[in-house]
Amino acid sequence: MNPREKELAERSLWPLILKYSLPAIIGMLVNALYNVVDRFYIGRIPNIGADALSGLGVTFPIICAVLAFTLLIGIGGASCISIRLGKKDREGAEEVLGNVLSSAAAVSVMLSAAGILFADNALRFFGASDVTIVYASPYLKTYFTGTFFFVTGVAVNHSLRGSGSPYVSATTQVLGAVLNVILDPVFIFVFDMGVEGAAIATVISQAASFCWVMANAFSKKNTVRLRVKYLRPRLRILLRIASIGISPFLLQLAASAVNIVANHALKTYGGDNAIGAMTVISSVSTLFVMPLFGLNQGLQPILGYNYGAENYGRVKHALRHQMTLATAHLTLCYAVVMLAPSALVEFFILKSRESENLIQLATTGLPIFMLVLPLLGFQIPATNYFQSIGKAGVAIVVTLLRQVILLIPLYILLPRFFGMRGIWYAAPVSDSIAFLISAAVMEFERRRLAALPAPPEPVKGARA
């Protein structure tokens, strides 16, 4: 047992969770700036900020779909690597990493070609009007020119984190996001390129992150290295990656589907400004929820390794710690939303006569939309638990409950009775029902783990 594996198996949980999660949390927060910073600056473009922000909101379902394929490969690969390391199969873990790179590269090229060719048709389908497509189309087409860097870089980065390299993973995310923060105002305002300038800044930032993560993937310092001999795709490995990554994949596709339905409802009951208001609300939500996904990343190697090593008591304690941290964080965020909704909204959109209606809609909708936000402190870790231990089927059900099975019908039905407020009510109603069902599933899993036999104690004096 090498020092890193010994740490995953034996180190006290609180310091271990902080060590693995803090870099990932910082990385996810900074990574969230890729889209949030674009919205921040675009919302401040004089005279067109409100319409441009609404246009950016229409692109969100398509960007979610791209991210879905990234997570299918990256999260699936990371879990496979963690589990194989727990079984002391380092060569198998490296073979998984090679397949992650080759499959991500192939998928990214296909996505890029399809995205550039069909961008305008997709935007119309997703709710773009004659006003908003003027801003959405150049942003999306430029974004797709960098799909290779985004999909491949993020997928490999997830895999490196799954091998027990949290600092490399976090540094990669921070590098690209900080560069995007710097380049956005330069291309948008200094070069006067507007919305298209924001997309160019994003592509350059993603390319820089890709170069950094690839340099680290080949480094001898990593527990799991990228080796050319493992780049040849293996169907057995690809199917295993997909079986685990299917849950986050479907979650993101669900997010895309939800946004399509929501955009049509928003356009029907509130017009383009309502889509812009949802863009602002989703930006606030992203900043609040992203730390939980960083926490997920930090817990994934701990949960996966110890589950693979049959150390089920440690798995349960780690999950309990994660849920405690997640719920405390979201409770604090909930208090901020309830106390200062207008301040949060006006952070993303320049206050003017043109944006007055958008600001009013977002300020009204934000507290309703996040009414039961602390409940996600249970739901998101529960989904991550099932992903981390390779139980893809359960993870899919828990994941899709909130995002598809409940939320889409609510977006269709509630506005018919409550108008615009019905759109805001959909999220908290969905979260509440999904929480109750998820809690029942986790209680069943807790009893299953309690019934499993403990692994045999190692013989004293034997080699680890």
Query: Is 31's pLDDT higher than 70?
Result: no
Q: What is the pTM of this model?
A: 0.81
Query: Is 49's pLDDT higher than 90?
Result: no
CB-based contacts of 221: which residues, under 8 Å, 6+ apart? none
Task: Dig out the tokens for 335 from the structure.
Answer: 């208090």
Cβ atoms within 10 Å of 324's Cβ, excluding its own: 12
Task: Dig out the tokens for 461 from the structure.
Answer: 């004096």
Which pLDDT score is estimated for 456? Answer: 57
Which pLDDT score is estimated for 1? Answer: 66
CA distances from 347 to 30, 43, 108 (A): 17, 9, 34
> CA–CA separation, 369 vs 346, rounded Å?
17
Which pLDDT score is estimated for 268? Answer: 94
Q: Which residue has the higher pLDDT, 142 or 257?
A: 142
Query: Is 430's pLDDT higher than 60?
Result: yes
> CA–CA separation, 250 vs 403, rounded Å?
9
Q: Is 459 exposed, middle or buried (0-12, 13-18, 19+ CB in 10 A)?
A: exposed
Which pLDDT score is estimated for 459? Answer: 46
> CA–CA separation, 163 vs 222, rounded Å?
8
Percentage of the residues of the chain whose pLDDT score is greater than 70: 96
Name which of 79, 74, 69, 65 is nearest 99 in CA terms.
74
Which pLDDT score is estimated for 460? Answer: 47
Which pLDDT score is estimated for 462? Answer: 39
Which pLDDT score is estimated for 79? Answer: 86
Residues 13-39 have a mean pLDDT of 81
Query: Is 454's pLDDT higher than 70?
Result: no
Task: Dig out the tokens for 149 from the structure.
Answer: 């860097």
Query: Is 186's pLDDT higher than 70?
Result: yes
Q: pLDDT for 89-119, tens place per residue?
A: 989 999 999 999 999 999 999 999 999 999 9
Residues 244-260 have a mean pLDDT of 83
Rounded to the nearest angstrom, the gap between the alpha carbon of residue 305 and the centroid of all alpha carbons in its chain is: 22
Mean pLDDT of the chain: 89
Task: Dig out the tokens for 249 from the structure.
Answer: 């994949």
> CA–CA separation, 104 vs 245, rounded Å?
13
Task: Dig out the tokens for 410 from the structure.
Answer: 């609510």
Which pLDDT score is estimated for 253? Answer: 84
